[in-house]
Amino acid sequence: MITRREIQVLELRKKGLRQNEIATKLKISQPAVSGFLSNALRKIRDSKKTMKLVEELGIEYGEE
């Protein structure tokens, strides 16, 4: 699951802020921003892979 902080960083990145600008705005270090971005993108990528596998296997999901 993507954390609240990861979402904040992604939203600011989407607005065009660079990592050092995000760090300043959120009062965290630039390496922390980089870590949040990497973790969020990895989680998104993993989620897409999982959904693809579920579809390939014909597993039904969603509300019952």
pLDDT in tens, 11-34: 999 999 999 999 999 999 999 999
| Portion of the chain with pLDDT greater than 70, in percent | 95
In the predicted structure, residue 63 carries a pLDDT above the cut 70: no
62 burial level (CB within 10 Å; 0-12, 13-18, 19+): exposed
The residue among 32, 41, 28, 30 whose CA lies nearest residue 2 is 41
How many Å apart are CA 8 and CA 22, to the nearest integer? Answer: 9
**Long-range CB contact pairs, 13-16, < 8 A, 24+:** 13/37
